[in-house]
Amino acid sequence: MFKNVAIGILTARVLICADFDWNLPNGFPKPPVPGDNPMTAAKVELGRYLFYDKRISVNRKESCGSCHRQELAFTDGRAHAEGTTGELHPRSSMSLANVAYVPFLTWANPKLTSLEEQALIPMLGDAPVELGLKGREQEFLGVLRGDPVYQRLFPRAFAEDSERYTLGQVTKAIAAFERTIISMRSPYDRYRWGGDSSAVSEAAKRGEIIFFSSERGGCFQCHAGWNFGSAIRFAGGKDGDNVGGFFNTGVSTYEEPNRGLYEQTKRMEDIGKFRAPSLRNIAVTAPYMHDGSLTTLDEVVDHYASGGKKQHPNKSRILRPLSLTSEDKRDLIDFLKSLTDDALLHDPRWSDPWPPKAH
User: What integer pLDDT is reported at residue 202 of this predicted model?
Assistant: 98
4-11: average pLDDT: 32
97: alpha, beta or left, given left = phi > 0 and alpha = psi -120 to 50? beta
The pLDDT score that the predictor gives to residue 359 is 62
Rounded mean pLDDT, 153-170 = 92
Average pLDDT over residues 243-260: 90
What pLDDT, on a 0 to 100 scale, did the predictor assign at position 179?
97
Per-residue pLDDT band for 237 (boundaries 50, 70, 90) equals confident
The predicted pLDDT at position 110 comes to 92
**In the predicted structure, residue 129 carries a pLDDT above the cut 50:** yes
pLDDT at site 19: 62
Q: Quick: pLDDT tens for 182-220.
A: 999 999 999 999 999 999 999 999 999 999 998 899 999
CA atoms within 13 A on the CB side of 167: 16
What pLDDT is recorded for position 230?
86
Averaged pLDDT of the chain:
91
pLDDT interval class at 161 (50, 70, 90)? confident
In whole angstroms, what is the distance from residue 188 CA to residue 208 CA? 10
CATH fold for the domain made of 187-343: Cytochrome Bc1 Complex; Chain D, domain 2 (1.10.760)
How far is residue 299's CA from residue 288's CA, in Å, rounded to a whole number? 9
Long-range contacts of 66-71 (CB under 8 A, 24+ apart): 67/93, 67/122, 67/130, 68/93, 68/95, 68/96, 70/344, 70/345, 70/346, 70/347, 70/350, 70/351, 70/352, 71/284, 71/345, 71/346
Where are the chain's structural domains?
A: 5-183, 187-343
Share of the chain above pLDDT 90, in %: 84
Q: What is the pTM of this model?
A: 0.92
Fold of 5-183: Cytochrome Bc1 Complex; Chain D, domain 2 (1.10.760)
Pairing mode, strands 8-9 and 5-6: antiparallel
pLDDT recorded at residue 6: 36
Vertex 126: Cα angle to 292 and 101 (nearest 5): 55
Mean pLDDT (whole number) for 40-59: 97
Q: What is the dihedral of CA 206, 212, 215, 221, to 10 degrees?
A: 150
pLDDT reported for residue 231: 84
Distance CA 190, CA 346 (A): 18
